[in-house]
Amino acid sequence: MQNIMAPSGISDKYLALHASFQVLKKELWNLQITCIDIPGILSGSPLSFIHICQEIFLSPARPELRETCTNTYRLSSGMTDYRFCDTILRISRTELGLNPRLSTEQFLNNGNFVVRRIELITDIARAVYKREGKHRPERTASTVSLSRPGSSSGGCPETPAESATLRSIFDLIRDINIKVVAIDTKVTDKFEQLEARISLLETRYRVFSSMSN
């Protein structure tokens, strides 16, 4: 059986995704946020990113930021996803001095703009940490807890198998993409064969017509 390799652009895409996630993990670690939905983040689920924003802006661990967000911008977890994200982007511009490259619609676009979303949350976490003026912890961000859907952020245990989890996720994504490429190649071959047959029939028809005339 012929092996069909995925285009290099696909592997580059997921290498960039993995690299940006590692930076995000480090910045969240500085804010003591260690319980995140890894599969949701890597698959681009907006809810996973909204949960992180709630941890950043509404956590009792950052009372000054929380007070500013709730009193000045009326930010709350009870907002609709659209209003919450729109408010977060406004706070990022006015309070943190950032220039988000994502619109609210793009932030909520499920499955797309994943790397840009990760980069935005990374910039937010870094800016909030600098705003607090705290020294970075000496511990390294070696592990990040894997939260389960519907679980709360408190009391989520850390797991040493994070690297294995990430590896299995990326392997699954790679396998899916290889299968998609294989299907796309087969469909393309079928269309090319069909076009060749149609062209052959047209040629025969023209020859037959000229002979009849």
pLDDT tens digits, 50-79: 999 999 999 999 999 999 999 999 999 999
Residues 150-197 have pLDDT tens digits of 444 444 444 555 666 666 766 666 666 666 666 766 666 666 666 666
Residue 24 lies in a domain: yes
β-pairing, 145-146 vs 35-36, is parallel
Contact call for residues 131 and 65 (beta carbons, < 8 A)? yes
Residue 176 lies in a domain: no
Residue 207 lies in a domain: no
Q: Which residue has the higher pLDDT, 70 or 10?
A: 70
Residue 181 lies in a domain: no
Residue 195 lies in a domain: no
CA nearest to 99, candidates 111, 87, 110, 90: 90
Residue 85 lies in a domain: yes
Range of the domain at 103: 8-160
Give pLDDT, residue 13: 76
Q: Which residue has the higher pLDDT, 102 or 194?
A: 102
| Residue for token pair 């037959």 | 208
* Cβ neighbourhood burial of 196 (10 Å; 0-12, 13-18, 19+): exposed
Question: How many folded domains does the chain comprise?
Answer: 1
What whole-number distance in Å separates Cα of residue 38 and Cα of residue 57? 20
Inter-CA distances, 114 with 57, 86, 158, Å = 21, 17, 24
* Cβ neighbourhood burial of 178 (10 Å; 0-12, 13-18, 19+): middle
Residue 175 lies in a domain: no
Residue 88 lies in a domain: yes
pTM confidence score: 0.62
